[in-house]
Amino acid sequence: MKRRNLILVGALIISFAFAFNASLALAKDMTVKDYTTEAFKNISQISPSNAKAIFDKGGVVFVDVREPDEFKAGHIPGAKSIPRGTVEWMIPKNIADKNASIVVYCEHGSRGALATYTILQMGYKNAKNLEGGRAAWLKEGFPAE
């Protein structure tokens, strides 16, 4: 019995060591550009004009993932402020329906892409990133408050 337990413990230690080293090998070489490229590959984007069309119809939740001071300086009307660093905790508290139509945005698109990817990984089905972010929205002359 003791020998069997030692073998199991040894196998577990070896397995954890391989898994830990493999995860370090994957993570240590990633750059911010790598993370955003990966996110953009795995999400859908929505153009400002298409986002405005669904904004006008209602039934969509706009999520601003910029920092609170950026949000206070101006945002899409009715948007929820959920900074990128709090998405995992705040999305379920603010949007319970995993089938809700969600448009995520930041200032230019990269933070929005990362947040959208996270939201999709959390099981939400209809989250899209606003292509070009709030800057593109404003360039089209769409409203901000």
pLDDT of 124 > 70? The answer is: yes
**Residue 23 sits in which domain range?**
2-29
- Do the domain assignments include residue 23? yes
pLDDT of 23 > 80? The answer is: no
| Residue 19 sits in the same domain as residue 65 | no
Six token digits for residue 43:
């999400």
| Residue 75 sits in the same domain as residue 20 | no
Share of the chain above pLDDT 70, in %: 81
Tell me, rounded to whole angstroms, the distance of Cα 35 from its chain centroid.
11
| Residue 12 sits in the same domain as residue 64 | no
**pTM > 0.85:** no
Alpha-carbon torsion (47, 50, 56, 60), positive or negative? negative
| Residue 67 sits in the same domain as residue 39 | yes
| Residue 45 sits in the same domain as residue 20 | no
pLDDT of 73-100, one tens digit each? Answer: 999 999 999 999 999 999 999 999 999 9
- Do the domain assignments include residue 25? yes
The total number of structural domains in the chain stands at 2
| Residue 87 sits in the same domain as residue 122 | yes
pLDDT of 2 > 80? The answer is: no
Nearest partner of 112 among 104, 120, 102, 101, judged by Cα: 104
| Residue 133 sits in the same domain as residue 78 | yes
| Residue 45 sits in the same domain as residue 77 | yes
Q: State which H helix or E strand residue 41 sits in.
A: helix 32-41
| Residue 71 sits in the same domain as residue 108 | yes
- Do the domain assignments include residue 11? yes
What integer pLDDT is reported at residue 75 of this predicted model? 98
| Residue 69 sits in the same domain as residue 20 | no
User: Which pLDDT band holds residue 7 (cuts at 50, 70, 90)?
Assistant: low
pLDDT of 21 > 80? The answer is: no
pLDDT of 24-70, one tens digit each? Answer: 445 568 898 998 999 999 999 999 999 999 999 998 999 999 999 99
Mean pLDDT of the chain: 87
CATH of the domain at 62: 3.40.250.10
| Residue 56 sits in the same domain as residue 21 | no
